[in-house]
Amino acid sequence: MRHNESIGCTVTECKFHCQDDNYCTLNHIQIVTHNSCAYSKECTDCGSFVKK
């Protein structure tokens, strides 16, 4: 599977995870916050995630 070397990813449960190595196969991802203000990395998520 072709991956995007600019987007590293270790979330193997995602539909877009490259099964050959730890990269994403998408050309672009959307980072989102689930709080009103992102004050740490725990406040952010990959909005492009899709469960396999």
Paired strand residues for 32? 45
Residues 6+ apart with CB under 8 A from 25: 1, 2, 3, 4, 16, 17, 18
List the structure tokens of 25. 């196969």
Q: Is the pLDDT of residue 1 over 90?
A: no
Q: Is the pLDDT of residue 8 over 80?
A: yes
Domain spans of the chain, in order of start: 4-46
3-state secondary structure of 6: strand
Q: What pLDDT is stored for residue 52 in this prediction?
A: 96
Q: Please answer whether residues 9 and 44 qualify as being in contact, where contact means their C-beta atoms are separated by less than 8 angstroms.
A: no
The per-residue pLDDT for range 16-39, each reduced to its tens digit, is 999 999 999 999 999 999 888 899
Q: Please answer whether residues 4 and 27 qualify as being in contact, where contact means their C-beta atoms are separated by less than 8 angstroms.
A: yes
